[in-house]
Structure 1
């Protein structure tokens, strides 16, 4: 049994090294008709209802992945600097007081890419390994 566990650990370590080149990295994406770049603070302001415009002045449509998605958790931690529970409470208060609505939720990374590519003024986030020519990378946040 110990030999099998050791073999599994070695195989897992080798796999981690092999896959290391395709490491997931959070990127902020937008529609091709939008701005070329955005700052982390501008993204934070959009996702915390402090701004309704992109840097080029377009009205923004923000999208988010579903709760429990690891890329959403990373986005919340690195960009909004808030956890999902805090954000849920925040958006409940915003809706209740008529001050705004949360970013529109999409079901998957593929849905995120599809809706951002087809919605002028949109912004979202993805794992960098999933980005293709259908969307524009606006920001690669520093860890």
Structure 2
């Protein structure tokens, strides 16, 4: 029975991997990065609260500025993994925030170089990017709590 269960689990994993290989690959490559002064450790719920505009201050009471990396594939993976929304749902959420006067559309940056520059120069800034594009001399990779 245990062997059968094990085989079924392996087959399910392989099936999922074949069905969505880019999601599995990209999910492991997303780095949550911030201004070098940001030293907070975050969990998934805190990341969600930040990118939904509900958490606006770091533990030291300094302001949070979040920015999106404008890459469709990585944005989709980030939103699915950390926010629990599709890009369309996320966009509609922010449209409603703007319409009701509760927020403004998040800033989106198109290249890793521009994103790193923005994060390095903006106190309290946070974003995400591919792990391979991170320049740890200019930004801080935030540790994630389980």
**Common fold, TM-score beyond 0.5?**
yes
**Residue number in structure 2 paired with 1:87:** 90
C-alpha deviation, 1:103, in angstroms: 2.2
**Residue number in structure 1 paired with 2:41:** 37
Determine the C-alpha separation between the residues in 1 that align with 2:68 and 2:87: 12
Cα 1:36–1:141 change in 2 (3 A) is closer
TM-score, normalised to structure 1, is 0.75
Structure 1: runs of 5+ lacking an equivalent: 1-22
Q: Is the 8 A contact 1:36 1:136 kept in 2?
A: no
Query: Of 119, 125, 129, which residue of structure 2 is paired with 1:126?
Result: 129
Could you report, residue by residue, the CA deviation over 1:42-99 in whole angstroms, capped at 9, with x for unpaired residues? 1110111211112332111100022x52111111110101001101111111001000
How many residues matched? Answer: 119
Structure 2: runs of 5+ lacking an equivalent: 1-26
Correspondence 1:23-102 to 2 at 5 A: 25-66=29-70, 68-102=71-105
Determine the C-alpha separation between the residues in 2 that align with 1:111 and 1:141: 27
**Residue number in structure 1 paired with 2:4:** none
Determine the C-alpha separation between the residues in 1 that align with 2:145 and 2:133: 16
Could you report, residue by residue, the CA deviation over 1:7-65 in whole angstroms, capped at 9, with x for unpaired residues? xxxxxxxxxxxxxxxx9611100111122422221111011121111233211110002
